[in-house]
Amino acid sequence: MLTYGSWDLPGLDYFQSKNTFKGSRKNFRFSVAIDKEDEDKLTVVIWYGEKCLESSEISLTKSFDLSEQSLYDINAFLTSQYTADET
């Protein structure tokens, strides 16, 4: 397994197989999955709280190209959003 950053995202093949990855730190929650409307994109959804995504208000959504580089970019994005929440 490659390491794309501190969020331990799975490899590109995981997402190409149409799997969803969800993670959290403290009150910060996120999901990464193939975009439902464009299968060449990954969509990151961020929400806060103790509830699951389906029961929560989405705070932020951002799309990335479906590529190896995007996994690094997603890690940087998650870090920036988590850090912004901490301050």
Give CA–CA dist 76/81, Å, rounded: 9
pLDDT at 2 over 60: no
pLDDT category at 14 given cuts 50, 70, 90 is very high
Average pLDDT across the chain, whole number: 92
pLDDT at 3 over 90: no
Identify the pLDDT of residue 87: 53
Supply the pTM of this predicted model. Answer: 0.90
pLDDT category at 6 given cuts 50, 70, 90 is confident
Other C-beta atoms lying within 10 Å of the C-beta of residue 32: 23
Closest CA to 76 of 64, 87, 86, 66: 64
pLDDT at 48 over 70: yes
Boundaries of every domain in the chain: 12-86
